[in-house]
Amino acid sequence: MNNDPSLSLADQYSTVRSLTLNLCCTLEPEDTVVQSMPDVSPTKWHLAHVTWFFEKFVLKALDRGYKRYNDEYDYLFNSYYHSAGKMHVRPKRGLLSRPTLADIVAYRSYVDDAMRALLEQRGGEPELANLVVLGLNHEQQHQELLLTDIKHVFWCNPVVTTMNAGLSTPASDAPGEYSYVGGHEGIHEIGTDSGGFCFDNETPRHKALLHKHRIGTRLVTNAEYREFIQDGAYSDSNLWLSDGWAVINERSWDRPLYWSEDLGSEFTLGGQREINEHAPVSHVSFYEADAFARWTGARLPTEFEWEIAAAGQDVKGNLLESGCWHPATGNSQQFFGDVWEWTSSAYAPYPGFVPLDGTLGEYNGKFMCNQMTVRGGSCVTSADHIRASYRSFFYPDARWQFLGFRLARDGH
Ligand SMILES: [Fe+2]
């Protein structure tokens, strides 16, 4: 989206907005209302919230003639922007049978018409362009959430429902023994100042020290994770962080979120399927990733080790000429677009971090406490939205996203 200079901003807007509706084309209105747990938002709420984002931060801010579609939507569809006013509580989004899906689709059209008119008149203004690009990247983030959330909703329904058979974690060919390549010891530049779109939490570019380490050439697979389970790992307290041990016992976790009890199949957006042994394990928490690493005598990479290793490749895994990956030591794979990768790094501000001005400063910065950084994007992240510096973050017990991991080791 933001990487395609051939598209006008108005065309980028139309492309992203239409994709969101297209993702819902196989859903029935009843599907779009359900909230299966507090982390999950109903599809209908996602459709409205991303529209509210453009209404609130673009139209209301920059278009004096804009008339709000419905005064109550500020309360219903504000997610977490306290400086923008009060909001409906997150765990009760599934109680909103009204406005209906048809009302929300009409709301989207109303805002789209106003946005197109504004872009036609003033699309060249930098302030408008910056806010629209942020709104489109925000909508792409919600496209991903929409898919992971409806996956959880369908999983909770004993009547097997499918959405799109094409959306599952990509598998490699038989990957062979887990191997490592030497990482880049020394002081490295982390983050971005490239001038292209990025979220505020990717800045400023700054120096970080990497110690001697090796990083895994691929993600940990389902077969390897099954071996971990069958070795009794979920009953061995020595492998677990204290919080992790408490969580797996309190919640009776003994396998990844969507795996069947016999460890033979998993729920996907294409329905129940046999587990592909070569695919990366997915839907595991930070605690499970950390315990697996300890079981093998390894650890998770830091987000800085990950970024330096990944920055030498494009999103298809091809080595970049300018990349710093050492060609003599080999090529690490699966950095982008398979599963979000847990790192050992707490989600924290970079030195000199300055949040966006005003209400939008609440977008990322206020979450920099008690969460872990994940990197790389998943199979349901927009491909043109993925970059080496992109940081997302989840609580260590989160599992409903496509979350997996690779290993790292100290020394060479
Ligand atoms: Fe949002």
Distance between CA 219 and CA 225 in Å, rounded?
11
How high is the pLDDT of residue 183? 87
Ligand 1 centre from 19 Cα, in Å? 17
Q: If you measure from the C-alpha of residue 276 to the centroid of ligand 1, how many angstroms do you get, rounded to a whole number?
A: 33
53 CA from centroid of ligand 1 (Å): 7
Token representation of residue 261:
């009890």
pLDDT for position 155: 96
Q: What is the mean pLDDT of residues 166-170?
A: 67
Confidence of residue 385 (pLDDT cuts 50, 70, 90): confident
Which phi-psi region, left, alpha or beta, contains residue 338 (left: φ > 0; alpha: ψ -120 to 50)? alpha
**pLDDT for residue 3 is more than 50:** no
What pLDDT does 164 receive?
66
In the predicted structure, residue 2 carries a pLDDT above the cut 80: no
Going from the Cα of 337 to the center of ligand 1, the distance in angstroms, rounded, reads 21
Q: Residue 16: which H helix or E strand, with range?
A: helix 9-23
Question: How many angstroms is it from 140 CA to the middle of ligand 1?
Answer: 10
| Region 360-372 average pLDDT | 96
Whole-number Å distance, alpha carbon 45 to ligand 1 midpoint, is 10
Measure 49 CA to ligand 1 centroid, in angstroms: 7
What pairs with residue 187 in β-bridges? Answer: 209
Are 283 and 292 within 8 A, CB to CB?
no
Q: Is the pLDDT of residue 1 over 70?
A: no
Find the 289 Cα to ligand 1 centroid distance in Å: 27
Going from the Cα of 95 to the center of ligand 1, the distance in angstroms, rounded, reads: 19
pTM over 0.85: yes
Helix residue ranges, H only, 25-100: 43-54, 60-62, 73-77
CA distance 8 to 11: 5
Ligand 1 centre distance from Cα of residue 8 (Å): 24
CA of 191 to the centre of ligand 1 (A): 23
pLDDT score, position 176 = 87
Percent of the chain whose pLDDT exceeds 90: 83
CB distance 210 to 308 below 8 Å:
yes
254 Cα: distance to centroid of ligand 1 (angstroms):
32
Taking the centre of ligand 1 as the mean of its atom positions, its distance from the CA of residue 251, in whole angstroms, is: 28
Q: Using the mean position of ligand 1's atoms as its centre, give its distance from the Cα of residue 51 in Å.
A: 10
Question: Residue 167: its pLDDT value, please?
Answer: 64
11-61 confidence digits (pLDDT tens): 999 999 999 999 999 999 999 999 999 999 999 999 999 999 999 999 999
Q: Out of 251-255, 268-272, 366-370, which region has the weakest mean confidence (pLDDT)?
A: 268-272
Look at residue 330 in the predicted model and tell me its pLDDT: 41
Which residue type is seen at 187?
Answer: I
* DSSP E strand boundaries for 218-323: 265-268, 271-274
Dihedral of alpha carbons 284, 287, 293, 296, sign: negative
Q: How far is the CA of 284 from the centre of ligand 1 (A)?
A: 23
* C-alpha of residue 363 to centroid of ligand 1, in Å: 8
Q: How far is the CA of 187 from the centre of ligand 1 (A)?
A: 35
Predicted local distance difference test score (pLDDT) of residue 140? 97
pLDDT of residue 4: 62
Residue 79 Cα, ligand 1 centroid: separation in angstroms?
A: 6
CA of 127 to the centre of ligand 1 (A): 20
Centre of ligand 1 from the C-alpha of residue 50, in Å: 6
Please give the distance, rounded to the nearest whole angstrom, from the Cα atom of residue 25 to the centre of ligand 1: 21
Buried b (16+ CB within 10 A) or exposed e, 49-78: bbbbbbbbbbbbbebeebeebeeebbebbb
Q: How far does residue 9's CA lie from ligand 1's centre (Å)?
A: 20
Tens-digit pLDDT profile for residues 98-136 = 999 999 999 999 999 999 999 999 988 999 999 999 999
Q: How far is the CA of 332 from the centre of ligand 1 (A)?
A: 33
Cα(297) to ligand 1 centroid in Å equals 38
What is the residue-averaged pLDDT of the chain? Answer: 92
pLDDT at 318 over 90: no
pLDDT at 325: 36
pLDDT tens for residues 206-215? 999 999 999 9
* Span from the CA of 137 to the centroid of ligand 1 (angstroms): 10
Quote the ligand 1 centre to 142 CA distance (angstroms): 7
Q: What is the mean pLDDT of residues 245-273?
A: 96
Q: Residue 321 pLDDT more than 60?
A: no
pLDDT of residue 274: 95
Residue 77 has pLDDT above 90, yes or no: yes
Q: Are 131 and 56 in contact (CB under 8 A)?
A: no
> Could you tell me which residues come within 8 angstroms of residue 128 by beta carbon, excluding any fewer than 6 positions away?
58, 62, 118, 119, 122
Tell me how far the alpha carbon of residue 166 lies from the centroid of ligand 1, in angstroms: 25
